[in-house]
Structures are given as C-alpha cells and as structure tokens.
Amino acid sequence: MCRHTDSSISPWLSIVGIGEDGWSGLTPSARSAVENADYLMGGARHLAMLPGVDGQRRERWPSPLLDGIDGLCARRGSPVTVLATGDPFWFGVGATLARYIAPEEMAVFPQPSAFSWAAARLGWALQHVHCVSAHGRDLAALRPYLHDGRRLLLLSWDASTPDAVARMLCEAGFEGSRMTVLEHLGGDKERALSAIAAEWSYRDIAALNMVAVDCVAGEHARSIPRTAGRAEALFAHDGQISKAEVRAVVLSLLAPGRGERLWDIGAGSGAVGIEWMLADPANRTIAVEARAERASGVAGNAERLGVPALACIHGQAPEALADLEAPDAIFIGGGLTVDGLLAHCLARLVGRPRTRLVATSVTVEGDAVLAEAMQRHGGSLRRIAIERAEPLGRLTGWAPARPITIWCWSGAC
C-alpha cells in the first residue's frame, strides 16, 4: 500500500460526499472536483447520479474495497476523485483512504451524514446519541449499549437489519423500545416507519435505511453494566470463573486504554477478556484456553455480552502464543505453573513502553511462582480474601472464597 508524505505534492485526490439528492445537492467546489477529475471511482449508485464528463475514466469500487487502493495511488499527481456517502469520515471510505494517503494530498467535500439527517428528523441531540454501523459488523456489538433511556442510531447493513434489531431488543427485555426506520434520508423517497420493538412488523423496507432506537427497559431487561466486576451470573461457566470482586481489581491493574490488545491466558469463561473489550469498543482480546469445551464457552459468552470480535484459541500456552500479535497487556488466570509460560509472556512485553502483566494464583505452587517473579522482576504483590453472606441454617453466615494472590508488573518496572 502507498502511504507516504511529499510536501511538494498538492492535493490530487478529492473525496466527494454525495447525499440522496445527488448532483443537485453538491456545492460548486464539489462539482468542480467531479468535472475536473481524470479518473473517478465510486459505487454504482453514486456514479449513476452524475452527469457524464467527456474523456473521464470512471470505475466502480472493487470488492473488497482495499483492492482499489493501489490503483488510486498509482495515479498520484493527477486529478482523481472518489465518491462517498454523505460524510466520508463518519463510518465512510475517507478513514480507510487516510490510512494510505496523507491528508495534505486530499481535498474533502463532505455532505451531512445519515446520522445528522436522522437526528434532525427525530429532534435528537446528536452528541447524546450512540451512533454505530452494522456494515460488515456483527449486530451483537450493539448489545452493550442497551440501557434504559439511551438513544441509538444504527446504519443498517440492508433491509433485514430492522427485523434483527427488533429481535435483539425483545430478547434482551427491551421490547417496549420505540424503533424508527428512516429510509433514503435527504432524498425525494424519504420515509419513516415507527413502532415498538414487540410490534415491529414492517416489510418492504428499503435497503438504504437507518434504525433509531429509543431504549425502554422492561421488567426483565438485562442490561450489561458499564463497570468491571460484572456478576458471575452473566457468564456461562463450569465454575472456572474469577469472582466479580477479583475481576474488578484485576481490570483496574490491567488498566485498559483505547485500541489495546490483551492476551487472556487460561481464559476459563473468558470473563476478564470480555470485560477488557467492554472497557472500550476499540479494544481487542485474544483468549487462549486449553480445554475445548471452555474455549467454545468463551466464544458464546463473547457473543452474548456484545464483544463478538473476541478471538478465542483452543490450545496450550506457551506453545499457542508463538504466532500471536504482540499484546499491550497479558492476564494469566490459568496455567501459571506451566514451565516457561511466565518467562515467555514477559519476553513479549519487556522493552516496550506501557505494557503490563497481571497473574493470579489460588495454589501454594502458583504463589511460589509469583513470589519469585516479584523478586526477579519487581512489580507488586497482593492477596485478596473475599467472604459472601450465605444461609447458615435458619441464620446467615460468612462463606469465604479461596484467597487470591495477584502479581502486577508493568513495563515501567
């Protein structure tokens, strides 16, 4: 691919956003960028909106889209125009192009995005709305945002998306939420369809649509809490899951940032890796689990809790770690006493800034490994004991859980 910066090159690539009103909705400068281009690339729908230009070469975006990037870059220095939907940098092609072409080489002519149109039609303050796209994304990722009173705008994948959203809302206990589907926003075929999720029955919906959801939690709604240390009952497990209180401490020590990758080794139910991803939608987890049934359970938990992009590997660490992308943080919740595991993990982190490792133990042997690690590498060591009230005959008593030893190390140590 072709990213480079050359200050001597003037903007040669124009990115023109087009709305449903087509050519008539473009500004004079955007029209000029289209008319003066030697080469024009866009989707079939957008190309059909434009008048012809003598001598201009036009092509449709290939599939996959990235296959067209090198062809664009090969024309660097001559006038090229790319067509986009609405605002090219709001779930649009602009962000993709900016990974390969420097911004000073581009001139961008945005139009109002579908999100802006939808907010205007509904009277919603856009800054208080959660906006998401279903294009090429698993709809399960919407699940963490279902909270009473929250407003969502979802750019649909196709005409089937509204039905899928209605089913998800009902399954999560949000059947009373009002859905509004807005078709062809900003064009002469614009239409709005509205009903509560439990009564959604519209058919013949346009493929180009936006789904607005005004969330209303029902009596049995199951919202995913926004903070770490979520209840064990949210996760399917066979008993191999850290207590919620322990997970809250572990996540605070792992300190998830934005766009960071975690290795969750000995994942069990996958709870720590899932909570890492719930901390920020740009975060990623690679979970490693030696037992096949648990690895399958990790994937199921990730789907139900709205982080379907979590990657789960069925394998034994450290062998399973050999070809993985480098992590920003590592959690070792199982397999601590396996020869070479801790050393391998540290080797993947040492020398890189802002990396960290958290490991837990409930055994004497594991505690010995952590004590030696602290002596050799530094970091901090702590122990947590948790007791929960449980019935004791006709009364209530305290039931202690196994104490947890936690070693935390960072690249700053």
Query: In sequence order, what DSSP letters do the residues of 42-58 get, joined into one string?
Result: E-HHHHTTSPP-TT-EE
> Minimal CA–CA distance to 124: which of 151, 145, 162, 90?
151
Which of 52, 80, 111 is the last residue before a domain boundary? Answer: 111
Same domain, 192 and 82: no
What is the reported pLDDT for 1? 59
What is the reported pLDDT for 411? 80
| Total number of domains constituting the chain | 3
What is the reported pLDDT for 145? 96
Buried/exposed 273-306: b ≥16 CB within 10 Å, e otherwise: bbbbbbbebebbbbbbbbbeebbebbbebbebbb
Please check whether residue 145 lies inside any domain of the structure.
Answer: yes
CA triple 368-370-375, angle to 5 deg? 95
Angstrom distance (rounded) from CA 230 to CA 274: 10
- Contact (Cβ atoms closer than 8 angstroms) between residue 209 and residue 352: no
What is the reported pLDDT for 131? 95
- Contact (Cβ atoms closer than 8 angstroms) between residue 236 and residue 208: no
Domain CATH number, residue 385: 3.40.50.150
Which of 163, 184, 214 is the last residue before a domain boundary? Answer: 214
CA triple 105-109-112, angle to 5 deg? 140
Tokens for 51, please give them.
Answer: 């008048």
What residues form DSSP beta bridges with 212? 153, 180
- Contact (Cβ atoms closer than 8 angstroms) between residue 143 and residue 224: yes
Tokens for 394, please give them.
Answer: 């006709």
Please check whether residue 94 lies inside any domain of the structure.
Answer: yes
- Contact (Cβ atoms closer than 8 angstroms) between residue 271 and residue 235: yes
The contacts of residue 366 (CB under 8 Å, 6+ apart) are 336, 337, 360, 405
- Show the low-confidence residues of the chain (pLDDT under 70): 1-9, 412-413
Domain CATH number, residue 79: 3.40.1010.10
Same domain, 106 and 130: no
pTM: 0.89
Angstrom distance (rounded) from CA 384 to CA 248: 12
Tokens for 218, please give them.
Answer: 């029902």
Domain CATH number, residue 151: 3.30.950.10
The helix-helix angle for 271-278 and 244-254 (nearest 10°) equals: 50
- Contact (Cβ atoms closer than 8 angstroms) between residue 27 and residue 109: yes
What is the reported pLDDT for 46? 94
Tokens for 113, please give them.
Answer: 């995005």
Same domain, 98 and 121: no
> Minimal CA–CA distance to 261: which of 397, 151, 370, 355?
355
Same domain, 138 and 251: no
Same domain, 148 and 171: yes
Angstrom distance (rounded) from CA 226 to CA 145: 9
Please check whether residue 225 lies inside any domain of the structure.
Answer: no
Locate all alpha helices (DSSP H) within 36-106, ordered by sequence.
44-47, 69-73, 93-98
What is the reported pLDDT for 240? 85
- Contact (Cβ atoms closer than 8 angstroms) between residue 355 and residue 328: yes
What DSSP state is assigned to residue 316? -
Same domain, 19 and 150: no
Which of 185, 214, 243 is the last residue before a domain boundary? Answer: 214
What is the reported pLDDT for 4? 55
What is the reported pLDDT for 351? 83
- Contact (Cβ atoms closer than 8 angstroms) between residue 408 and residue 380: yes
Same domain, 193 and 260: no
Angstrom distance (rounded) from CA 192 to CA 202: 11
Same domain, 128 and 32: no
Please check whether residue 227 lies inside any domain of the structure.
Answer: no
Identify the sign of the CA torsion 103, 61, 16, 184: negative
Same domain, 121 and 97: no
Angstrom distance (rounded) from CA 136 to CA 89: 17
Same domain, 236 and 376: yes
Q: Domain range holding 204?
A: 115-214
Same domain, 244 and 359: yes
What DSSP state is assigned to residue 306? T
Same domain, 257 and 378: yes
- Collapsed DSSP state (helix, strand, coil) of residue 283: coil
> Minimal CA–CA distance to 290: which of 232, 334, 340?
334
